């Protein structure tokens, strides 16, 4: 009995131990299975998502390439400035792509290899010789004459998705050898030998984190950093660090070190440009230095590697001293680990940071114009294609004219505000749109005072009252009716119109005075309101409003008398479309911002063909355009003559909305059309007329670009006559006052000034009969 009693507890203990072992084994087994399942899940994610390494590739948008040829009005100073805009480096011997040498009026440049929409252009040495402001010779390295040469176009931006991630993917052969070496020295010296994690670095970081009670050091290898950027979010937890380490080891199992390093170079986050996240060294090279990654020098490479550690903390624009100190430490480390010579490191450390001012604007980031490009492409492409498929978009933007437009707007707005006696809390805003009338290409667009700010695009979306910009359309409808010509007399006298609501509409001239009977040419050039209203009513409101639609306005205006004085809200881009028909001689060419599109492999997808449609009688347009020339000579646009080159013939019209809320000017030369708007965003009065505000911006812009005089062949149905500008009477200079020459229809009966009748009556009768 005693033996049985002694054995009972032992049996129970053995049974408990057995159950414990079985339970433990079961738990370990389940845990192992769960761990294996989790690792298999991570392995599947790693291999499936990373194997193809398909990044989201936003469409890259390029400006119009600069074409050089002998005889071109393009001086050495201007060419050098454009080369610098493209990121070309000034050197003693230009043997590397993206470099140039200037000696007086001669510039030797080594171009970049570039795939245009129609051909691949290899890198080559080109010599450009000039005299003053003209190119006199263009030769290749053999001294042979080159008829025309295209420089690689400026990358002006990307069409990136809503999450803002942007990158320029670079192939391994486009990566400077010093970049991987610098990354290893600064971020992961055991990269070539570890299997995804560095145990010693992790232990060292873990000790620091335990002491701090939170995650402060990562001890991450380059592979772990790649995992964090490519697969994971930004949470800093122990669980996430374990997941990161496991995925890093799995990556190392499946892929070669070189593949991982190239992926890192294209993936890592390196800064922020407003709503655009800068990913990869390819885009970072453009963002910080305005040139391709392959052309970076040692001190520039070291600075990009500096930014890896903390894009915000080491932002070279916000914290230049902090960024430079770390850059120099990286250069010293590269020398210590014999990646570079110590002397070379010291020379690189002596160089400035070398970043371009204004972030992406040096490389050419123009949000307003890119917005137009995006809207244009959305008619033919899915959003995913534009933001992910790596398309190449060749646009119509002219960087030089864009720069001049931005400068003209900012300088004139600042001058106008400084000249104000009464200071106001808000700042004036403005828009500039420049087109090439013959082909409808939008070559510059400034959507606001802060040209590089991707906010409200006033050029496309700010619909404001256009005031007297409506008058050329009214005068065109009048001339087309056959009842009027440039010399016809119209009364600038009071007029009253009973509206549908019973109210009486009584318009006024801006001066509150009346000019009486005046010829159409004077009525338009002096922007006489009452003469315009009387003319429009005589023609008929339906004929006037229909002409707006014919000339390119998207919607026909309401048939209301107030439309005759500009009670019509139109966006600046639509004003440009309207006036493009005048500048193009009565032909409508839809405005366009894109020339061609290539797919990710460089194959053409779509070209945007030129469309030309006749929308107005050419003889009538010719007469109105001659009146618009008189606007610039004798009317509201004459103030521009002080800035414009002598002899340059231009045509244009000012516009002022009621209470001086909007200041407009639209005008054209032989090769450029410019539209300018100035006003406040809250629509309060500016105190500016079109002539005192917008015209000054237009004049500064047109005087700063190479443009040609407006001219057009006179239609055979017209004949030139000389009349007095004030009265419209036929006269000669010796017997009339302020005589001008205009074109009127053949056979038109015009009154002759009495003092000139003896010499002109017989001549005039013979001319009209």
Hey, which residues are catalytic here?
187, 468
Q: How far is CA 209 from CA 186, 196, 205, 239, 310, in A?
A: 21, 21, 6, 14, 19
Task: Indicate the SS3 state at residue 769.
Answer: coil
Q: Provide the Cα torsion 381, 383, 388, 394; round to 10°.
A: 50
**401: which 2 tokens?**
């004219």
Kindly give the pairing relationship between strand 67-68 and strand 441-446.
Answer: unpaired
DSSP state of 531: H
Rounded CA-CA distance 60/156 in Å is: 8
Rounded CA-CA distance 115/109 in Å is: 18
**26: which 2 tokens?**
């079961």
**681: which 2 tokens?**
């965003």
Could you tell me which of 362, 438, 434, 451 has the C-alpha nearest to residue 156?
Answer: 362
Sequence-ordered list of residues with C-beta below 8 angstroms from that of 12, at least 6 positions apart, any chain: none
Kindly give the pairing relationship between strand 134-140 and strand 125-131.
Answer: antiparallel
Render the burial of 682-700: b for 16+ CB within 10 Å, e for the rest. eeeebbbbbbbbbbbbbbb
Could you tell me which of 527, 536, 508 has the C-alpha nearest to residue 664?
Answer: 527
Q: How many CB atoms lie within 10 A of CB 19?
A: 10
**706: which 2 tokens?**
């190479």
Residue 297 CA, chain-centre distance (Å), reads 28
């Amino acid at each position: 009995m005693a033996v049985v009693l002694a054995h009972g507890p032992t049996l129970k203990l053995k049974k408990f131990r057995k159950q414990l072992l079985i339970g433990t084994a079961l738990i370990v087994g389940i845990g192992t299975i769960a761990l294996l399942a989790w690792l298999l899940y991570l392995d599947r994610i790693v291999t499936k998502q990373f194997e193809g390494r398909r990044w989201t590739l936003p469409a890259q948008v390029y400006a119009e390439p600069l074409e050089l040829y002998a005889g071109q009005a393009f001086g050495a100073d201007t060419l050098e400035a454009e080369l610098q805009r493209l990121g070309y480096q000034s050197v003693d011997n230009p043997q590397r792509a993206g470099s140039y040498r200037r000696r007086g009026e001669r510039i030797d440049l080594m171009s970049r290899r570039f795939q245009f929409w129609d051909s691949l252009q290899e890198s080559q040495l080109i010599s450009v010789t000039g005299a003053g402001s003209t190119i006199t010779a263009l030769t290749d390295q053999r001294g042979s004459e080159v008829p025309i040469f295209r420089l690689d176009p400026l990358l002006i931006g990307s069409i990136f998705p809503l999450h803002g991630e942007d990158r320029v993917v670079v192939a391994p052969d486009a990566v400077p050898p010093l970049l991987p070496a610098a990354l290893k020295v600064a971020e992961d010296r055991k990269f070539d030998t570890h299997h995804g994690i560095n145990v010693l670095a992790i232990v060292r970081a873990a000790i620091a984190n335990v002491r701090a009670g939170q995650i402060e050091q990562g001890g991450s290898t380059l592979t772990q950093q790649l995992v964090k950027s490519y697969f994971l979010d930004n949470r800093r937890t122990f669980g996430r660090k374990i997941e990161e380490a496991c995925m890093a080891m799995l990556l190392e199992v499946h892929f070669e070190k070189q593949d991982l390093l190239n992926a890192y170079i294209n993936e890592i986050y390196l800064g922020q440009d407003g709503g655009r996240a800068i990913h990869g060294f390819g885009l970072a090279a453009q963002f910080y230095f305005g040139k391709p990654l392959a052309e970076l020098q040692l001190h520039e490479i070291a600075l990009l590697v500096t930014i890896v550690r903390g894009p915000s903390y080491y932002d070279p624009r916000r914290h230049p001293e902090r960024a430079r100190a770390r850059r120099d430490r990286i250069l010293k480390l590269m020398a210590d680990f014999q990646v570079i010579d110590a002397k070379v490191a010291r020379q690189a450390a002596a160089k400035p940071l070398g970043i371009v001012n204004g972030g992406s604007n040096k490389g050419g980031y123009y949000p307003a114009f890119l917005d137009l490009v995006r809207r244009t492409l959305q008619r033919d492409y899915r959003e995913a294609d534009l933001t992910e498929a790596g398309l190449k978009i060749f646009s119509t933007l002219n960087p030089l004219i864009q720069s001049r437009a931005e400068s003209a707007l900012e300088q004139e707005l600042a001058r106008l505000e400084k000249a104000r006696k009464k200071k106001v809390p808000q700042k004036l805003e403005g828009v500039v749109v420049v087109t090439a009338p013959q082909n409808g290409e939008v070559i510059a667009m400034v959507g606001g005072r802060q040209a590089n700010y991707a906010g409200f695009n006033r050029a496309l979306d700010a619909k404001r009252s256009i005031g007297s910009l409506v008058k050329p359309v009214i005068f065109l409808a009048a001339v087309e009716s056959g009842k009027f010509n440039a010399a016809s007399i119209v009364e600038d006298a009071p007029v009253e119109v009973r509206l549908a609501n019973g109210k009486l509409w009584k318009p006024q001239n801006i001066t509150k005075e009346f000019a009486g009977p005046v010829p159409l040419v004077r009525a338009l050039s002096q922007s006489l309101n009452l003469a315009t209203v009387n003319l429009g009513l005589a023609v008929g409101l339906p004929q006037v409003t229909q002409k707006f639609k014919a000339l390119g306005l998207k919607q026909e205006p309401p048939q209301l008398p107030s439309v005759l004085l500009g009670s019509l809200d139109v966006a600046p881009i639509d004003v440009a479309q309207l006036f493009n028909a005048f500048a193009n001689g009565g032909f409508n060419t839809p405005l366009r911002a894109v020339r061609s599109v290539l797919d990710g492999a460089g194959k053409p997808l779509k070209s945007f063909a030129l469309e030309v449609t006749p929308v107005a009688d050419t003889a009538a347009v010719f007469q109105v355009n001659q009146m618009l020339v008189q606007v610039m000579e004798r009317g509201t646009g004459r103030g521009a003559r002080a800035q414009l080159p002598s002899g340059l013939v231009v045509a244009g019209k000012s516009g002022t909305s009621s209470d001086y809320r909007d200041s407009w000017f639209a005008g054209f030369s032989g090769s450029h059309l410019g539209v300018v708007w100035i006003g406040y965003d809250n629509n309060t009065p500016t105190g500016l007329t079109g002539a005192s505000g917008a015209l000054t911006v237009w004049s500064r812009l047109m005087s700063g670009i190479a443009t040609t005089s407006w001219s057009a062949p006179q239609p055979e149905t017209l004949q030139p006559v000389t009349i007095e500008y004030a009265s419209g009477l036929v006269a000669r200079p010796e017997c009339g006052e302020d005589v001008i020459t205009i074109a009127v229809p053949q056979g038109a009966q015009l009154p002759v000034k009495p003092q000139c009748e003896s010499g002109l009556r017989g001549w005039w009768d013979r001319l009209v009969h």
